[in-house]
A and B are shown apart, each in its own frame.
Chain A
Amino acid sequence: MNKNPKKLPDSKGHFNGYGGRFVPETLMPALIELEKAYKQYRRDKNFLEELSILQKTYIGRPTPLYFARRLTEHAGGAKIYLKREDLCHTGAHKINNAIAQSLLAKKMGKTRLIAETGAGQHGVAAATGAALTGLECEIYMGSEDMQRQSLNVFRMRLLGAKVTEVPVGSRTLKDAINESLRDWTTNVRNTHYVLGTVFGPHPYPVMVRDFQSTIGKETRQQILKAEGRLPDCLIACVGGGSNSIGLFYEFLTHPIRMIGVEAGGHGIGTGEHAARFAGGSLGVFQGCKSYLLQDDDGNVLGTHSVSAGLDYASVGPEHCYMRDLKRIEYTYATDEEALQAFELLSKIEGIIPALESAHAVAEAVKVAPTMPRDSIIIINLSGRGDKDVQEVARIKGINL
């Protein structure tokens, strides 16, 4: 590699042209304050100790690295391991970031947390962080997502959060982010916005990546213990891109193939997908410059994916940079492929994956047979599929 992929971003949050800060001026002091606080606390022994204890005793870290023997045999090639983020408290990797940000907000003296959510996983994680730290919490969620993920809506309310429906625009994740940014602009003095992925204005892409990079750090130790060497290939799904960068970051400087899997929806040709790299172009959206699904006039296009967590029009700016460096490859899996992988992993391993993570499983099943039997693939199983069971039943035409 001729360039150190960890050198960026610069002080303005630019990853070689991607990222930055595109927000109302009202939010700038809050972003500068957050950046300062983050820089301070990420080196603060007490903060790190507190976070580390919560990771162990509350989130359930380290999550296991599991050798999926039957999936390996089925695919017929490389050995496939699963990093079991689905076993985290609340059911997905989202909690890693949410707990850390809640703790940071508390240290900053904020009294209120807000968050957006698509599938509901980040909303549940943020509501959990708020309950844990004793902060007030409001979650914004598009009406369409509220319908698709009614169980998570109830979970958030059980956790004491106020869930506010966003009935405008496409009524999905992007509209929930708009509404969160509006709330933050209004209540910026006492409120921290717990952004759920490696997106938005600086310092969020960096901060969320760092909070998620514990996934890769653990994985590295675990695979060295299990196999005595580093893996050959890492695979993760990419919505905003936090679980993938969380796994990949630790390994960036090693010659390991990395594949990010976007949501191919009904196929790229149909226009009904969320594959920003396959079908998007450079744009500025919700706080940063990145690849964006947009029309010729710069309006943001509707997206489609069977998984609400990947159903987003843009992607984390660092991923654009990694793509330019050719450090991470990006591909996509269609709804149908993800649904097949969802059922496959359930039947063959007894693990029901989140539909998001099923996209990564689908890619692994394609890649493994092309690799020698002594090679190693690690899939980030970012979340569990309990939340998707109802939706999958509906798609299969089964009445529960």
Chain B
Amino acid sequence: MSKISQVFKKAKKTGKKVLIPYIMAGDPTLENTKRFVKEIEEAGADIIELGVPFTDPLADGPTIQRAGERALAQGVTLRKVLALVEEVRQHVQIPLILMTYYNPVFKYGIEAFAKEAVRAGVDGVIIPDLIPDEADDFIAYARQDKLDTIFLLAPTSTEDRIKKVAKASTGFIYYVSITGITGARLLVDDAMKNTLTLIQTITQNPIAVGFGVSSPEDAATVASLADGVIVGSAIVRLISENRDIKNFVSSIREAI
């Protein structure tokens, strides 16, 4: 069982929800990211999601777009993020996930990427512009190296798509709470509840909900509907304002 699966299993046993904070690697510098990762772990997060900057982040709202631009301006690349993971792995125990667009992985070479990612200590990968239909090779290499492949579902997802995504996903499924981009306003409505229920009848995979979760209250609401919560833009915004993130992550930990 993968480290990520173990985290969800353990949480389920103890009746807890999995907290997954997101930060952009290299925003504002890679040195800062090392410190943030440590702080987030200390604040009680279960898994950390590290963003890889990309020139054309079409699933991201303005907050994460700008964080990516700052990281790119520092010369941060997928290669450097892997080196960073290798370094923080020395003193961080919880699973680390990379969230990257597909082209940097494709350019790196998917076989080499899966190998290098696992060697560095990455536990799973989220690629928002890669759907299972296009991911046969990527999934094969990831399985070979025991790298979890986390695919996404959305409020628009049909039964057909849910089955496909459930089959391709290991670790957990990332449920995008809204039709929209990261950092948009959360809307917990019947459509969301119905889709989540439908997903839960189709698959045993744990589900973490992300996009638009910006406060402890939001986190508590979505946590009641799923197995885990992903918080991204709200933390990235605090970083951009040079404010403390540890207390914020702690407050979300307490809320769920």
Q: Are B58 and A178 in contact (CB under 8 A)?
A: yes
A133 contacts the other chain (CB 8 A) = no
With both beta carbons as reference points, the residue of chain A lying nearest to B182 in the complex is identified as A182
Which residue of B105, B108, B156, B165 contacts A29 across the interface (Cβ within 8 Å)? B156
A24 to B154, Cβ gap below 8 A?
A: yes
Report if B119 contacts A (CB, 8 A). no
Which one, A12, A182, A283, contacts B106 given CB within 8 A? A283
CA distance A175 to B54 in the complex (A): 13
Chain A: minimal CB distance from B134 (Å): 5
With contacts A25-B131, A25-B176, A185-B59 taken as known, whether A298 is within 8 angstroms of B152 at the C-beta atoms is no
Closest residue of A by beta carbon distance from B153: A25
Stretch at the interface among A87-95, A122-130, A289-297: A289-297
List residues of chain B with CB within 8 A of the CB of A392. none
User: Does B59 contact A24, Cβ atoms closer than 8 Å?
Assistant: yes
> Contacts A24-B129, A28-B161, A186-B179 known; A300 to B59 CB distance under 8 Å?
no
0 or 1 for each of B115-139: is its CB under 8 Å from A? (1 = yes): 0000000000000111101100000
- Identify the closest chain B residue to A175 (Cβ): B56
B102 — which chain A residues lie within 8 A by C-beta? 22, 284
Which residues does chain A contribute within 8 Å of B167, judged by CB atoms? Answer: none
Chain B 151-173 interface 0/1 with A at a Cβ cutoff of 8 Å (1 = within): 11111111001000100000000
Once the chains bind, are A174 and B56 in contact (CB under 8 Å)? yes
- A24, B128: Cβ atoms closer than 8 Å: yes
Q: How far, in whole Å, are A23 and B106 apart by their CA atoms in the complex?
A: 15
Is A24 a contact of B152 with CB atoms below 8 Å?
Answer: yes
Asked if A390 lies at the interface with its beta carbon under 8 angstroms from chain B, I say no
B131→A297 contact, CB < 8 A: no
Name the distance in Å between A114's Cβ and chain B's nearest Cβ.
Answer: 14
Kindly state the interface size class of chain B when it binds its partner. Answer: 35 or more
Complex: how many Å from CA A300 to CA B154?
27
The docked-state distance in angstroms from the alpha carbon of A26 to that of B184 is 14
Nearest to A188 among chain B residues (CB) is: B179
Partner of A285 from the list B65, B103, B134, B161 (CB cut-off 8 Å) is B103
If A21-B134, A25-B131, A174-B56 touch, whether A297 touches B104 (CB-CB below 8 Å) is yes
Which A residues are in CB contact (< 8 Å) with B153? 25
A310 within 8 A of B: no
Binds A, one of B18-26, B41-49, B71-79: B71-79
Output the residue of A28, A178, A285 with the most chain B CB within 10 A: A28
- Report how many A-B pairs have Cβ atoms within 8 Å: 120
The number of chain A residues touching the other chain, given as a range, is 35 or more
What is the interface of chain A mostly: helix, strand, loop, or mixed? mixed
- Of chain B, the residue at the smallest CB distance from A182 is B181
- Considering the complex, give the chain A residue whose CB is closest to the CB of B178: A186
Of A22, A186, A283, which one neighbours B181 at CB under 8 angstroms?
A: A186
Which residues of chain B are near A23, meaning CB under 8 Å?
A: 129, 131
**CB-CB < 8 A to B103: which residues of A?**
283-285, 292, 294, 298-300
Chain B residues near A (Cβ < 8 Å): 54-59, 61-62, 65, 69, 72, 77-79, 102-108, 128-131, 133-134, 151-158, 161, 165, 176, 178-181, 184
A sample of 23 inter-chain contacts (CB < 8 A) reads A12-B134, A21-B131, A23-B131, A24-B128, A24-B154, A24-B176, A26-B152, A26-B157, A169-B56, A169-B69, A175-B56, A186-B178, A186-B180, A186-B181, A187-B179, A188-B156, A189-B156, A282-B106, A297-B77, A297-B104, A298-B54, A298-B108, A300-B103
The interface of chain A, by Cβ under 8 A from chain B, is 12, 20-30, 168-169, 174-175, 178, 181-182, 185-189, 282-287, 292, 294, 296-300
With A29-B161, A185-B58, A189-B179 already in contact, 15 other A-B pairs whose C-beta atoms are closer than 8 Å: A22-B102, A28-B131, A168-B69, A169-B56, A185-B179, A185-B180, A188-B179, A283-B103, A285-B56, A297-B77, A297-B78, A298-B54, A298-B107, A299-B77, A299-B104
What are the 4 tightest A-B residue pairs by CB atom distance, in nearest-first order? A298-B107, A298-B104, A26-B154, A297-B77
